[in-house]
A and B are shown apart, each in its own frame.
Chain A
Amino acid sequence: MGEKNPRWALGLLLAVGWLGAHRFYLGRYASAVAQLGISVLCAALWLWGGPLARYAPYLLGPVVFWLLRDGFWLFDYFRVEEDMDSRLSAFAQSQLDAQASQPAASVQAAAAPALAPVAQSLVAAAPLPHPKSDPAADLQADKKSLAIQMAQKHIGDALAHRDIQTAHAEADTLVRYLAQRSRKPQNDPHLAMAYLLQGMTFYQTEHLDAARKKLQMGVHLGVAFAELAQPVQQAQACLQRLRSPKMAPGAAATPALQPGQYPLLMQAQDWAQALALCEQTIALQAAQSGDLTDLAQHHLNAMEMAQHLGDTVRQRGHGQALLALAAREGAAVPATLRRQALERLGDGYQAEADHQRAVQHYAQALALVDVRSGGNAAAQALALCALLQRMAASHAALGETAQALQCWQRLALYVDSFDRLDQQGQRMPDPEAVSGMLADYAAFATHHQPTQVKPLVQQALRIQQRSCRGYSLAAARAYEVFADFLAAHGQTDARRSYLKKALLLVQICDPDNSAHLQQLKTAIREAA
């Protein structure tokens, strides 16, 4: 398609637009013929339609509407063209400058996109349909190839700087530009290449739904072109992975790590494969001295996967590695990640009944929670309460009642502030967790602070009543705790009635937990 003059196009639209002339000029033959057909039909009905002439005005409306819309369309069309022209000129000039200032051997390397390591395998490996050695000379002859080259470079740069928005915008601009220059998309390898590039960009930035759509489009258009065999094959492999997150055996051993791959496996709860891939990612990033925050996040994910696999050694290994990363001089590992690692380590020790170590880790994690810092103060306070709850449990297990009580009382202060927020109509963070904490405190208070049990249970139930009309497992737990408290004071009849309430709530909220249901039914029978 030759270069089009916007003035000519606008002139044709204004003068003989009703005949579709501007569309013929821009090579949109099918729509131009349709426009011409409607106009001719309208005129024919008007002049020679006889009794049918009264229908002619009904056709006039669509023609006028279409022409008005074409006015906007032409504006947009030439804006994209001009924008791309200026960018391509600048790009071609920069290529010429680079060629002049660097030895011939390094020109190719400079032209190749400086991609993020993981992006390299996908985007950089995808060849251009018609690579040009001298972009400035071929600018007019093959602008499409140059546009693809430019987009590859810019997307690569953006991904290297983790600027996802720019990468997406570059890919989108390329597709729009090529789509409007392609009269027959199925005959245009450049457009197919643009879709593949966009799909791969989405894939690398973990926008998997969008990636699937664009890659499918790219494969559909590109499969007919021999020069696109390699990128189409890569796209098909990506699509295969997107369709079946649980990869074929042996795939995990391939060193070509794909970002987004192990989180996909985590979603599919394929913990063993996901952990293997995650550890490969960690090794790769550690070797390349990548971003520490990213690396810490991978370690944290690995801890979660190891926990699911029951592999405490690996879980601890990753936890310690994360803490070692954070301890490095000048390391900027966010406190949230460190806190979560410490929490998980503490949980591991607590599960093994090593409460001394659990308390140590929880205390360290507690020191990292700053409720007054920016961000979501309520969420921070809730995290702090969760830590206090676990710490209290460990202290209680160690027989350190005073310390446990201190933790519970501190927790109760925060919960009171949540409750006040809730009463004022503001949203309480995770009411079920808050009520659960109160129920646990009440369970502890049964033996150590009996006067506190009833108010704590009432508070837990009140919170649940407000958040979900009392239909929750936290409410069931509160009833159970109160039933136990009554049993301790010899009120068996009242105990039975509260156990029945708890049973009904468990039947509603957790109908598949047959062990819990059975346990409650047995308790009710025994109380009778």
Chain B
Amino acid sequence: MSVQGLFYALPRHGLRGLLVEPSAMDDYLQRSAAQGGPLAMLDQGSLWQQDMQRLPEIEPGVAVEGTLAQQCWAWPADLVTDSAQRLAAISAAQLVQRMHAWQKTQDGSAPDLEALRLWVRRQAALRGFWQAAAQRRDAVLLYVV
């Protein structure tokens, strides 16, 4: 069974309702933005956990229970803004360093060029998503299915 990490941006005022009534979350995520659903979505695939481990700038969110997801976390708009500011401050060198450090803890070897390229692309997408959400003052949801 493949595990997929989906990031959603949603209006900051709508987050409380979903936290109070998490069973409504799944229906909500199925809707389009025009129908009052999430405003944006980013699929980080099965490597979402590695991304989150290598980006400690993203503060831990609120764990949401009672949804159909395997795991679900939410970040209110204010936390998204703070995290986006910290993410923006990371340099390319720091990213490569982190990748090396992470790979060492896994198998002791240095990461190959393709893995590095993939990692940079993925973190850029995540950073862009997070910053766009921060600009709109949106809340963010990580939904793992």
- Give residues in A with beta carbon < 8 Å to B: 468-469, 471, 504, 507-509, 511-512, 517
Contact = CB atoms under 8 A, between A and B. Distances in A.
Contact of A511 (B20, B62, B74, B77): B77
Classify chain B's interface size: 10 to 19
A507 B16 contact: no
A509 B16 contact: yes
Contacts of B58: none
Interface string B9-24: 0001101100110000
Contacts of B20: 468-469, 471
A56 B121 CA distance: 68
Interface in B55-81: 62, 74, 76-79
A469 B74 CA distance: 15
B19 A517 contact: no
A377 B76 CA distance: 38
A517 B13 CA distance: 15
B78 A511 contact: yes
B137 interface: yes
7 contacts: A468-B20, A471-B16, A504-B62, A507-B78, A508-B15, A508-B19, A508-B74
A512 B137 CA distance: 9
Contacts of A507: 76-79
Contacts of A508: 15-16, 19, 62, 74, 76
Contacts of A504: 62, 76, 79
Query: For chain B, what secondary structure do more than half of its interface residues adopt (helix, strand, loop), or is it mixed?
Result: helix
Interface of B: 12-13, 15-16, 19-20, 62, 74, 76-79, 137, 139
A517 B79 CA distance: 11
Contacts of B79: 504, 507
B36 to A, nearest CB: 18
Contacts of B78: 507, 511, 517
A471 B62 CA distance: 11
A471 B19 CA distance: 7
Task: Identify which of A469, A471, A507, A508 gathers the most chain B CB atoms within 10 Å of its CB.
Answer: A508
Nearest to B12: A511
Contacts of A471: 16, 19-20
A512 B16 CA distance: 13
A165 B6 CA distance: 55
Given A471-B20, A507-B77, A511-B77, 20 more contacts: A468-B20, A469-B19, A469-B20, A471-B16, A471-B19, A504-B62, A504-B76, A507-B78, A508-B15, A508-B62, A508-B74, A508-B76, A511-B12, A511-B13, A511-B15, A511-B76, A511-B78, A511-B137, A512-B12, A517-B78
Task: Identify which of B19, B74, B139 gathers the most chain A CB atoms within 10 Å of its CB.
Answer: B19
A509 B12 CA distance: 9
Q: Which 10 A-B pairs have the closest CB atoms?
A: A507-B76, A511-B12, A507-B78, A468-B20, A511-B77, A508-B76, A471-B19, A508-B16, A509-B16, A471-B16
A471 B74 CA distance: 13
A471 B20 CA distance: 7
A313 to B, nearest CB: 37
Contacts of B137: 511
Nearest to B139: A511
A517 B78 CA distance: 9
A195 B81 CA distance: 55
Contacts of A512: 12
A198 to B, nearest CB: 35
Contacts of A509: 16
Contacts of B12: 511-512
Contacts of B139: 511
A509 B77 CA distance: 11
Task: Identify which of B20, B78, B137 gathers the most chain A CB atoms within 10 Å of its CB.
Answer: B78
Task: Identify which of B16, B62, B77 gathers the most chain A CB atoms within 10 Å of its CB.
Answer: B16
A465 to B, nearest CB: 11
A508 B13 CA distance: 8
A513 to B, nearest CB: 10
Nearest to B11: A511
A471 B137 CA distance: 19
Nearest to B20: A468
Contacts of A468: 20
Nearest to A514: B78
A507 B16 CA distance: 10
